[in-house]
Amino acid sequence: WLTSTRSQRVTFSGFCTPYRRSWVSYTTSSART
């Protein structure tokens, strides 16, 4: 889950930016865990 924290930071920024794809990917991964 160490890498998850790093991904979360990127996702946070992506949420505001047109990086919705990354956000969805992160959400899916989180729900899977």
Express each pLDDT in 1-33 by its tens digit: 455 555 555 555 545 455 555 556 666 566 555
Give the pTM. Answer: 0.22
Looking at residue 15, its amino acid is F
pLDDT at position 30 is: 60
Kindly list the domain boundaries of the chain, sorted by start residue.
2-32
Q: How many CA atoms lie within 13 A of 29 on its CB side?
A: 13
DSSP state of 18: T
Return contacts of 3-6, CB within 8 angstroms, 24+ apart.
4/29, 4/30, 4/33
* Max intra-chain CA distance, the chain: 25
